[in-house]
Amino acid sequence: MSIIILDRDGVINHDSDDFIKTPAEWEPIEGSLEAITQLNHAGYRVIVITNQSGIARGLLDVDMLTRIHSKMRRMLAQVGGKIEAILYCPHVPEDACTCRKPLGGSFAELAHRLRIKLDDVPAVGDSLRDLQAAQTVGAKPILVRTGKGEKTLADGIPDGVEVYDNLAAVVTALLEPSV
């Protein structure tokens, strides 16, 4: 069974500079839930790794984050999909933790939990820090133009990173039979 790692805000749901603080503010990007379902049906284990500094900033607590993730999982289940695990970093950059992207601590934790290497595992994000975190563990960084993706692309990305319009386009490319 294959694994794919997804960032949350800007990849699965619409992002906000004001943070996603309640379930009401969490809205999926068109086609993202169906794309995850396609991945599931193709045998992919879908893992979300997300920075959630709103917790350290006092904008929401862990209970509210759990409610947001429950809404995401519920909406996903309605279209036949599921997310196997969600790893999140609740810290602000100043906390100097290793779990916050662009560092690879959360990715390393995932690899340890699953007892696997993340070499060439697709890791989809919309920011440079998503791409950098994937690279630190040998995963394959993929940029989407949704969320902060257009700005990230304009600012410059590492050589060799594939770019797609959205998660649905990533999934189409992943699941296309090789010629």
Residue from 9, 15, 126, 130 carrying the catalytic annotation? 9
Domain ranges of the chain: 2-175
Tokens of 158: 């590492």
- Give the model's pLDDT for residue 35: 98
Query: Which CATH code is given to the segment(s) 2-175?
Result: 3.40.50.1000
Give, for 46, the enclosing helix (H) or strand (E): strand 44-51
Beta strand 122-125 pairing with 140-144: parallel
- Give the model's pLDDT for residue 177: 73
Residue from 7, 15, 126, 130 carrying the catalytic annotation? 7
- Do residues 49 and 87 touch, judged by C-beta distance below 8 A? yes
Q: Is 9 a catalytic residue?
A: yes
- Give the model's pLDDT for residue 173: 97
Give the pLDDT confidence of 79-116 residue by residue, as tens digits: 999 999 999 999 999 998 999 999 999 999 999 999 99
CA nearest neighbour of 50 among 119, 126, 111? 126
Residues of the chain with pLDDT under 50: none
CA dist., res. 130 & res. 104, Å (int): 9
Q: Is 7 a catalytic residue?
A: yes
